Amino acid sequence: MSIKDQFTRHIHSLQNKICLGLEEVDGKAKFRSDVWERPGGGGGDSRVISGGDVFEKGGVNVSVVHGDLTQQAAQQLKVEGTSFFACGLSLVIHPFNPFVPTVHANWRYFELYNESGATVDAWFGGGTDLTPYYLVEEDVVHFHSMQKKCCEDFDTNFYPTFKKQCDNYFSNHHRGEERRGVGGIFFDHCRANEKHDLIFWKNFMEANGLIFLDGYSPIVNKRKHAPFSDYHKYWQEIRRGRYVEFNLLHDRGTLFGIKTNGRTESILMSLPPTVRFDYDYQPATGSEEEKLLQILKEPIQWV
Amino acid sequence: MSIKDQFTRHIHSLQNKICLGLEEVDGKAKFRSDVWERPGGGGGDSRVISGGDVFEKGGVNVSVVHGDLTQQAAQQLKVEGTSFFACGLSLVIHPFNPFVPTVHANWRYFELYNESGATVDAWFGGGTDLTPYYLVEEDVVHFHSMQKKCCEDFDTNFYPTFKKQCDNYFSNHHRGEERRGVGGIFFDHCRANEKHDLIFWKNFMEANGLIFLDGYSPIVNKRKHAPFSDYHKYWQEIRRGRYVEFNLLHDRGTLFGIKTNGRTESILMSLPPTVRFDYDYQPATGSEEEKLLQILKEPIQWV
């Protein structure tokens, strides 16, 4: 079976696993499936959850698309080719309780073809990152430990490299490099090279997808019944505003999707359910909210 | 007095007039002034209102800035020059009551200089547009009538041209050309030409600024005590989500400001106070909410 068929099969199976795992954690809400077709070729399956006991809004989306590569898309990707295949799983989960962090993950594969249909380029990309509203150190350490362990099964350089790339990528540059969250790992343009072939990368992507629930669910289960005040919720909505700013101003995947006529609802399912934008909001000096901001401005090594 | 000094004086005076007028309509909240300096030259005065009886959040900002033109900024503006002067008044007002429309207006002036300091380019731009959450025809007609009348005092071509430009500009292209609101007028690159010199344009900008309150305040006064339900508020927050999408994905002014290291809080004061992003939200067939959507997808002539 070709790499693209193997990986496509994997993300469909992973989608089922992750949805089931998250439904179990929520205990009430179920994902509903929205299957769609792409006019230019292929389609997807958007699984959406909302109004749960734990998860206020979330999506676990698979898309498997192919077709002609527009000039605009080629420019955006900085690649050459006349047609493409792309598949991926992308998820964002927004819990209601401000002590449960938001999580995002994505694993994707691209192939580019020339006019004769020969493959001229192929690469994987993806990552997983955590966005808490309040800093609970043991949770962040658990999350990073899981990612580190998974990386080390493949290459000891991966975690330090991908952790740094994650901090650099998920940053609101227009707010003095304030990070969206406490990071995780981020990697892109993972091509066959002298060290690793495409099969190796595929195996890493798959392994990283399969540990997702182990990295996230224990944190949710620990915090989902944490008592919180209106102010905790207020702060969560302020921070969700920053999530919106990052996704709409800086996120390459979102902007690529929007500019290349992707399926808007699936792309923007990442936006949080309720959000607040105050003018120049500043948390109190020495508060828990300010403590979070300091970490977002100067990321640290968690493991 | 130079055009830039005259126009700078005008926008400062207009800022006072508009803030006073809106405070009168609100009856409770007052604007607070946030004076700031720009490291590269100049600065601004951001006047912000929040938690009013009528206005949930709003800003009436003046900025008067100058300095070196970065290559990035020149590319964004598609102009040439080594230094610049820019001044403008920009306002966005978000009322609490979903039957009171949001309003946005902007009047701005740019000058570009070459290395010897000679002016190589100068132009005005701006506009005023209305974003209702429920369509009250007489309100929209009043708003457009005021803009049309103001335009016709200067040039009978202005209103039809600027009205169409407004509909084209304030559009969420990624949502099948769904407009942000019911428009108004929008104009840019208003340079001295065979028909109109810069003084003429300046006079038009000033006149258009001075009728702002007459176009907006009567609508607010008529609707500010309108009873509304939780659902009306819900729909307003869904629509505010589209306002955020437009401003962060498409608005040239916002993106220019963010990319050229503008003052983030002043640029993003335009974002609504509370916002909701639901997956694939669809209003009921035949509802008032759907009626609004139809007008946003196919703008009509109001006057």
Q: What is the DSSP string of A92-130?
A: EEEESSTTSPEEEEEEEEEEEE-TT--EEEEEEEEEEEE
Q: Is A66 marked active-site?
A: no
Instruction: Work out whether the CA dihedral B11, B15, B17, B22 comes out positive or negative.
Output: positive
Distance from CA of residue B288 to its chain's centroid?
Answer: 25
**B244 Cβ under 8 Å from any chain A Cβ:** yes
Beta carbons within 8 Å of B76's beta carbon, 6+ residues apart: B255, B256, B259, B260
CB contact at 8 A, A215 and A128:
yes
- HSE (side-chain half, CA atoms, 13 Å) at A259: 19
Copy the structure tokens of residue A160.
Answer: 């330090």
pLDDT of A209: 98
Give the model's pLDDT for residue A230.
Answer: 98
Query: Does the domain formed by A3-297 have CATH 3.90.550.10?
Result: no
Count of pairs with CB atoms under 8 A, one residue in A, one in B: 78
B13-28 pLDDT tens trace: 999 999 999 999 999 9
Helical H segments across B184-229, by residue range: 198-210, 212-223
Q: How many CB atoms lie within 10 A of CB A224?
A: 18
d(CA A129, CA A172): 15
Contacts of B249 in chain A (CB under 8 A): 248, 255, 258
Residues contacting residue B42 through CB under 8 Å, at least 6 positions apart? B63, B64, B65, B66, B67
Comparing A78 with B255, the larger pLDDT belongs to B255
Range in A63-72, A157-166, A237-246, B282-291 with the lowest mean pLDDT: A63-72
Block residue for tokens 């959406």: A48
Mean pLDDT of B207-217: 98
Task: Please state the domain extents for chain B.
Answer: 3-275+286-297
Tokens 């694993």: give the residue: A107
Class in CATH terms, B3-275+286-297: alpha beta
Question: A interface mutation test: which of B46, B174, B255, B267 has the most A CBs within 10 A?
Answer: B174
| ipTM of model over 0.90 | yes
Position B70 confidence tier, pLDDT thresholds 50, 70, 90 = confident
Q: Which of A59, A273, A277 sits opposite B273 (nearest CB)?
A: A277
Token couple for B133: 């959450």
Chain B residues with CB inside 8 Å of A45's CB?
none
Contact B280 A273 (CB under 8 A): no
Name the pLDDT band for A71 (thresholds 50, 70, 90). Answer: confident
